[in-house]
Amino acid sequence: METATEPPSDLPTDGGPDPLTPSLAAAAAAAAAADNDLLSGLESGRESLRDLRLESAAMEEDLVLAQRQRDEAIGRAASLSETVDGLSSERDSLRGRTFFGPGQKSQARNVREKKAEFNTHSLSLFLSLSVALASSKLAEFCRLGVTRNLSIAGSQSRLGQLGSSAVSPSLWESMNPSIGTKTELLKSLVVSTGPCSRNPHKSGSYQCKMPLDLTSRKFLLLPMNYGGTQARARAKNVFRKYSTSAKMAESLTYKDAGVNIDAGSELVRRIAKMAPGIGGFGGLFPLGDSYLVAGTDGVGTKLKLAFETGIHETIGIDLVAMSVNDIVTSGAKPLFFLDYFATSHLDVDLAEKVVKGIVDGCQQADCTLLGGETAEMPDFYAEGEYDISGFAVGIVKKDSVIDGKDIVAGDVLIGLPSSGVHSNGFSLVRRVLARSDLSLTDQLPGEAVTVGEALMAPTVIYVNQVLNLINKGGIKGIAHITGGGFTDNIPRVFPKGLGATIYGDSWVVPPLFKWIQKVGNIEDSEMRRTFNMGIGMVLVVSPEAALRILGDNEITAYRIGDVVNGEGVRYC
């Protein structure tokens, strides 16, 4: 059964006007207004977005420009650093010379001009790096008041000794046209991105650390005076650190440091034509049934570190060692030693320390200090510096000379440990120090001594140890590992046609050499040709003698390689 539903009584059923129509119209009008507001807001948002994009593009252009300026400044700094290094070397070679004869005034004027050119380029280098820092937004104020009384042209307080001479405004602007006045630069750039603290090595001064770039986080140490005077050597290191940090990946070589081993070998070859017999570790002079064996040497630029560290008591041991270790390679027992000490003005206390070291060295070598020469040479050496040379004479029976002629393939190389760098390679060491963020007073990584102490460790005197081994027999050749390292010194004792194979893992290379190689980014081949790598003396012995030596608990020795057919030194 179907049921019909009645419509609501309040709705019209006769086609009259709809009471909801006015409400719907009002709602439609409100919706239209809201749509208009939304469209207006969207358009406004689009305009704001366009503005933001334009601003972002402008900021990106500014950033690219800043990065380009930074890269150009760093490139300019790297170029200037090479100029500074070259001028520094030339200045050092000219410093303190006395000129005689015609052209004296001209040469003296040339010295002054070179010094002025060095100062100008050093200043330009510093400013270029400052611009690089500013472009990278790395510079900020060092909040310790260290800029008080600080003027790049002042005399009371100087930055890196460059304040010793004023810079004219025109020169300043020509070098750095966009960085403002000197005062503005110092207020904004003689600063750091790292903490500042009191310099523990210099009363009344501060030091701040600043990274050249935030990626590598390699920090530079920037000494800043607070009413005092920085040491010249310290200032020199600052600029070296700035100049080398821009090219930290560059590998250092001994030749880069100013020492050309090949040129030295060529000179020996030419001298040998005029004086046959030259070229061995010592020179032999026949005397009855014996030979007098003579040697002479110095300690190289290890003296520079003696000046910087103040360690003079052991440099005399180095001097004796360099000569007596050479002559003992022939089997000679040292008899006597002579020294030469030259300085600008004699400092009796300092000279006494040096001579005391020479006496100690002679006692270790069981020889006599027979005499020497002390020379005062004003204007030739820098104030407070000196140079030393030594001369040793020993004796060996003619039938006991160690000359290497009996060496054959299959013989064994025995290495005696060194105490460190000894007295060779210090020109390269000093380049590494200039690149490093460690000072001579900082602890050497992996050791319980400072960098300075490790480098200044006196050279081992091998005389008594080697003579005792010779007396037991089986020693066919001996190589003193000095300049030229394994690569050049070991072949000197071989007959033609023979070479050596060195086993690199047969001894532990001391941490000092690993640190030098890492900081200097030095190739393995360069290290082996420059440093002793922890082995100061190499004995070429028969296999039977090798077993005896290695089995002696009182001797520290390593089997480092073998003699093989074919000339040269190979490493494996």
- Are residues 325 and 373 located together in one domain of the fold? yes
What gap in Å lies between CA 123 and CA 126, rounded to an integer? 5
Encoded tokens for 465: 């140890």
- Are residues 423 and 465 located together in one domain of the fold? yes
- Are residues 526 and 568 located together in one domain of the fold? yes
Cα-Cα-Cα-Cα torsion 470, 473, 474, 478, nearest 10 degrees, comes to 10
- Are residues 545 and 414 located together in one domain of the fold? yes
Is the predicted pLDDT of residue 238 greater than 70, yes or no? no
Is the predicted pLDDT of residue 138 greater than 60, yes or no? no
Percent of the chain with pLDDT over 90: 49
Single-letter amino acid, residue 119:
N
What gap in Å lies between CA 327 and CA 334, rounded to an integer? 7
**H or E stretch including 546?**
helix 543-550
* Confidence bin at 14 (pLDDT 50/70/90): low
- Are residues 142 and 286 located together in one domain of the fold? no
pLDDT tens digits, residue range 369-425? 999 999 999 989 998 899 999 999 999 999 999 999 999 999 999 999 999 999 999
In a domain, residue 12? The reply is no
In a domain, residue 72? The reply is no
Phi, psi of 10 (to 5 degrees): -90, 0
In a domain, residue 358? The reply is yes
In a domain, residue 65? The reply is no
Mean pLDDT of the chain: 75
Cα-Cα-Cα-Cα torsion 238, 243, 248, 250, nearest 10 degrees, comes to -130
In a domain, residue 525? The reply is yes
- Are residues 346 and 231 located together in one domain of the fold? no
- Are residues 397 and 408 located together in one domain of the fold? no
What gap in Å lies between CA 304 and CA 426, rounded to an integer? 9
* Confidence bin at 47 (pLDDT 50/70/90): confident
- Are residues 393 and 412 located together in one domain of the fold? no
What gap in Å lies between CA 423 and CA 432, rounded to an integer? 16
Domain count, the chain: 3
In a domain, residue 29? The reply is no
138-142, 157-161, 251-255, 437-441: range with highest mean pLDDT: 437-441
In a domain, residue 46? The reply is no
Domain closes at, from 401, 419, 443? 401
351 conformational bin, left if phi > 0, alpha if psi -120 to 50, beta if neither: alpha
Q: 461: how many CB neighbours lie within 10 A of its CB?
A: 26
pLDDT tens digits, residue range 422-444? 999 999 999 999 999 999 999 99
What gap in Å lies between CA 541 and CA 550, rounded to an integer? 11
CA angle 456/459/461 to nearest 5° reads 155
User: What CATH number has the domain bearing residue 565?
Assistant: 3.90.650.10
- Are residues 228 and 120 located together in one domain of the fold? yes
208 CB burial (10 A radius; 0-12, 13-18, 19+)? buried
pLDDT tens digits, residue range 331-370? 999 999 999 999 999 999 999 999 999 999 999 999 999 9
Residues in the chain, overall count: 572
- Are residues 544 and 409 located together in one domain of the fold? yes
Over residues 26-54, mean pLDDT: 77
103 conformational bin, left if phi > 0, alpha if psi -120 to 50, beta if neither: left
Domain closes at, from 378, 401, 424? 401
- Are residues 312 and 384 located together in one domain of the fold? yes
What gap in Å lies between CA 537 and CA 422, rounded to an integer? 11
In a domain, residue 547? The reply is yes
Encoded tokens for 118: 């060095």
Q: Which domain holds residue 285?
A: 281-401
